[in-house]
Amino acid sequence: MKYFVLEKFKYMRGYEHQMPQNEMCKNGFKDLKKAEAAIIALEFLNHRPDMVSYIIVQENEQSWPTGLGKEKNAKKKS
């Protein structure tokens, strides 16, 4: 599984999430400890810590059902 770091911007009317511009953050991390280390580095380099926080999201490897089209066709024939 991969872990991704997102920037969470705080505004008066809500929040906005973006990917950091760092290439490693865009590709994701295979290890949670590396993602946590990236957050520490990004917090150190951030010039507005009062408006930006960072979160880690985990990639979901869910397989989607593939037989949906077959079931619809079977119902029509019956």
Q: Where are the domains of the chain?
A: 3-61
Integer Cα distance of 10 and 19 in angstroms: 15
Task: Tell me the average pLDDT across 20-47.
Answer: 86
pTM (predicted TM-score): 0.64
Integer Cα distance of 2 and 35 in angstroms: 9
The whole-chain average pLDDT of the chain stands at 78
pLDDT at 7 over 80: yes
- In the chain, pLDDT over 70 holds for what percent of residues? 79
pLDDT at 68 over 60: no
